[in-house]
């Protein structure tokens, strides 16, 4: 589990493909100081497992499904990547709960400066957008951000200078793909009230129940 507060941006040293899967080696300055083999690491929003490391770099195995469904398949030596170690329970919780399980990807369609911030517009599909809530939380390439606007096919976030400097988001160009993880709470609520894949237990709670009792 992660918070979406990026610790540093690493640099891809190598991507070694083995069929449709890959071993990625990442150069980093801070991360190798306090990791061990088997630790989870948030890499551009994707939860991966550290398989080896030294004082300057670490390696992760990436399965074929992850390479297909995320923007990790576009990485090459020299690419920058957002990194975050797993959350410690005694740390400050500055972002929101991020699992590292990507819901989908989006395409950056606009980067627009407004005073000290930059608006980033991302186009994505309906299966992702249904969980994107105005003023709710979203993880983009592992970065915890607040949704500032939602339409029928895209959403916007606003990036302050600190976030721009500490992550890769503002170095991206229009047309580039980003990983998106929606807020966990919305997905669990949907599963709970829909009763999908749960034939034995029915909560009796649906959208009509919530409206009748003043929750919607």
pLDDT of 211? 67
Burial 128-158 (b: 16+ CB within 10 A, else e): bbebbbeebbbbbbbbbbebeebeeebbbbb
pLDDT of 84? 97
Cite the residue boundaries of each domain of the chain with CATH code 2.40.30.20: 8-85, 104-189
- Cα–Cα distance for residue pair 4/145, rounded to 1 Å: 8
CATH entry 2.40.30.20 includes domain 8-85: yes
Contacts of 53 (CB under 8 A, 6+ apart): 32, 35, 36, 37, 59
- Per-residue pLDDT of the chain in tens (216 residues, 90 and over written 9): 999 999 999 999 999 999 999 999 999 999 999 999 999 999 999 999 999 999 999 999 999 999 999 999 999 999 999 999 999 888 888 889 999 999 999 999 999 999 999 999 999 999 999 999 999 999 999 999 999 999 999 999 999 999 999 999 999 999 999 999 999 888 888 777 776 555 544 556 666 766 677 666
Kindly state the tokens that stand for 115: 């005073």
**What is the DSSP code (8-state) at residue 176?**
-
Task: Enumerate the β-bridge partners of residue 122.
Answer: 108, 155
> At CA 102, angle to CA 99 and CA 105, rounded to 5?
150
Please report the DSSP string for 83-145 in residue order: EEEPPPTTS---S--B-S---EEEEEEEEEEETTEEEEEEE--HHHHTT--TT-EEEETTEEE
pLDDT of 91? 82
Query: Domain spanning 104-189: which CATH class is it, in words?
Result: mainly beta
């Amino acid at each position: 589990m992660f918070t979406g507060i990026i610790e540093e941006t690493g640099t891809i040293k190598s991507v070694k493909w083995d069929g449709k899967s890959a071993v990625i080696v990442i150069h980093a300055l801070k991360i190798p100081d306090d990791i061990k083999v088997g630790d989870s690491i948030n890499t551009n929003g994707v939860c991966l497992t550290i398989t080896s490391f030294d004082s300057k770099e670490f390696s992760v195995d990436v399965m074929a499904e992850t390479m297909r469904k995320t923007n990790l398949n576009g990485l090459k030596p020299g690419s920058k990547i957002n990194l975050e170690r797993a959350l410690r329970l005694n740390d400050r919780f500055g972002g929101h709960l991020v699992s590292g399980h990507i819901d989908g990807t989006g395409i950056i369609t606009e980067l627009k400066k407004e005073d000290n911030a930059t608006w980033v517009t991302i186009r994505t599909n309906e299966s992702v957008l249904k969980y994107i809530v105005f003023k709710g939380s979203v993880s983009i390439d592992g970065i915890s951000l607040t949704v500032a606007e939602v339409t029928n096919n895209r959403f916007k976030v606003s990036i302050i200078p600190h976030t721009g400097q500490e992550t890769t988001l503002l170095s991206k160009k229009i047309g580039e793909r980003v990983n998106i993880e929606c807020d966990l709470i919305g997905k669990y609520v949907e599963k709970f009230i829909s009763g999908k894949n749960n034939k034995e237990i029915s909560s009796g709670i649906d959208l009509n129940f919530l409206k009748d009792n003043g929750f919607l």
